[in-house]
A and B are shown apart, each in its own frame.
Chain A
Amino acid sequence: MKNMDFEKLSNEGTETLPSEERRRFLRFGLSVTGVFLGGSVLSLTSARDALGISDILPDAKKFPYKPHYSMVIIQNRCVDCERCMEACTKTNDVPSYGYRTKILDQKRDLGPSLQEQVFMPVLCNHCNRPPCVRVCPTTATYKDKTNGIVMMDYKRCIGCKTCMAACPYNARYFKETNRAIDKCNFCFDTRLSKGEKLTACAAACPAGVRNFGDLSDTESNVYKLVHRPDKVVWVLRPETGALPNVFYTTD
């Protein structure tokens, strides 16, 4: 894009600005002017509209996509058997050096001498405001207008890896065989488009950790799982304002 063309771009506005960016802007303002900036200057938009940390779910019945594919991970059920990873690798031809999903492990302190092992499945979050799509120079990665899946058009990908740097979830890798970035697409080409209801990982999970479905369907299991009043639901890195569609909870 030429410099002149930037003027023709429509203004993205401040409504979608992540809270991280706001803070950076504020720090910048403080360091330049050395003047305390009051709350009114800080609030580029009203707090209500500043989505991110407070509203991880879209308003009830106002989901942007139909079906609005989503995964709800019941984290404390995961025992790292890695059948999901095996199924994913087999279904989507993932090479040994790559991954579309991973299991992270960490130790959590329960007391001075007691630790708990925590396994956390991670994959592409199919964000409503995907940072990877925003930075792609060739629109090789895009948000599907119908189902909201963050897709790859391998033929358009030039392998610049800008999307890899932009992704807050490290969900992308460079696949050498097709010289393009590869990532999870909720098994759209391999399963969903062929009539299957579940992704390979969700179907392979023996413990019901990975729950997949249409979040806009109030009768779906994923909708019910994120609307249990007695359970906490969280997303990873909410401060980026990417509005992910992979939710975490416990049972």
Chain B
Amino acid sequence: MKGRNIPFGKFFSLLVLAGVLILAVGKPSVADEGYDEDTYGPAKPIVWTKPVKAVVFQHKIHTMGAGLECNSCHDGIFQMEAGNAESKDDFNMQSLYKGNYCGACHDGSMAFASNTRCTSCHIGVQGYNKMMGVTAKHGEGEEGHGGGH
């Protein structure tokens, strides 16, 4: 009996351990799966490069985070079609201050004003390169005095 009990105990504890591991590792992926693109919009961030490089927008922050519905913005403020806003001539900061595009909410009362906290959305050329996995050009980010032989 003893001989059979020990392997069984081992097996049982292994089973428990495996279960714990699955739960522990599985948890974040479960949370990720909880993000439903049909409810909250595309998971992938939108990066605009016009008129300046570069501005990032994340559906997740606005829908899951701030509780906005799809029809809060679509299609009144933004067309769903990708690249639509970017193709418009008035897709700029002046237009935002007048309440267009992001400025519809980012007016200082509903959400932070468009002329404040610039780098919350503007990630710049360096932010763009990091996001796209582009390696910096030679000469950039070179510190010290050894460069340029």
* Residue positions of A touching B, CB distance < 8 A: 76-83, 95-99, 102-103, 105, 116-119, 161, 164-165, 170, 173-176, 206-207
Check if B64 is an interface residue, CB within 8 A of chain A: no
Q: With the chains together, A112 CA to B11 CA distance in Å?
A: 44
Number of A-B contacts (CB under 8 A): 69
**Out of B118, B140, B145, B149, which one reaches A79, CB within 8 Å?**
B118
15 A-B pairs in the complex with CB atoms less than 8 angstroms apart: A79-B119, A80-B124, A81-B122, A95-B139, A103-B124, A103-B125, A103-B126, A116-B117, A117-B119, A117-B120, A117-B127, A165-B145, A170-B144, A170-B145, A174-B149
Q: With the chains together, A95 CA to B127 CA distance in Å?
A: 23
Most chain A CB neighbours (cut-off 10 Å) among B120, B138, B147: B147
B143: A residues at CB distance < 8 A: 170
| B: contact size bracket | 20 to 34
Q: With the chains together, A102 CA to B122 CA distance in Å?
A: 17
Check if B148 is an interface residue, CB within 8 A of chain A: yes
A97: B residues at CB distance < 8 A: 138-139, 147-148
**Out of B53, B118, B122, B145, which one reaches A164, CB within 8 Å?**
B145
Check if B77 is an interface residue, CB within 8 A of chain A: no
B149: A residues at CB distance < 8 A: 174
Q: Give the residues from 20 to 54 in chain B that come closer than 8 angstroms, CB to CB, to chain A.
A: 51-53
Q: Secondary structure of the B side of the interface?
A: loop
Known pairs A95-B139, A164-B145; list 4 more (Cβ under 8 Å). Answer: A79-B118, A82-B53, A116-B117, A118-B119
Min distance, Cβ A83 to any Cβ of chain B, angstroms: 7
On whether A81 and B124 interact (CB within 8 A), knowing A97-B139, A170-B143, the answer reads yes
Q: With the chains together, A139 CA to B23 CA distance in Å?
A: 70
List of 8 A-B pairs having minimum Cβ-Cβ separation, nearest first:
A80-B124, A79-B122, A117-B119, A97-B139, A81-B52, A174-B148, A82-B125, A164-B145
> Which of chain B's residues has its CB closest to A165's CB?
B145
